[in-house]
Amino acid sequence: MANPSNMTMTLGRLARDVRFVTNKDDSKTVFLTVMAQDNYKSKGEFQAQAISYRKYLRSDKQIAYYEKWGKKGNRVHIIGHVESVTFEKDGETEYRTDLVADDVDLSSLNAGRADAEASADDAEEIF
């Protein structure tokens, strides 16, 4: 990530199991949807907001890590960046802004110390 002012950080829980998509070159992309508390109140309560990230996976070990730990309700900490995307759709130029995950740390919702350490060990070994 070249521009530190383009950095995002999100701490929350997965709103659903991670979703995998196979790219044209047979690589994989994982999509993570995170529920995170916002810094504003509405009707006297802090609000939660769904935030979607994508991450390109480089190896089968990474895919296995997300399959194991990427379950709804699991805690997640994501550091990423904002990316503008331009593409053609029905002959028209479309623009989209994506959040791209650069570093993802997953751990189990009800993880005891052993599970949390196993998740961290898996991540260190894979990434």
pLDDT tens digits for range 35-74:
887 666 778 877 777 788 888 887 888 888 898 889 998 9
Q: Is 102 helix (H, G, I), strand (E, B) or coil?
A: strand
Kindly compute the dihedral angle of the four CA atoms of residues 98, 53, 79, 3, in this order, to the nearest 10 degrees. Answer: -10
Confidence of residue 118 (pLDDT cuts 50, 70, 90): low
CA distance 64 to 68: 6
Rounded mean pLDDT, 99-104: 89
Q: What is the pLDDT of residue 93?
A: 94
What residue ranges do the domains of the chain occupy? Answer: 4-126
Q: Which CATH architecture has domain 4-126?
A: Beta Barrel (2.40)
| Residue bearing tokens 């002959």 | 91
Reported pTM: 0.71
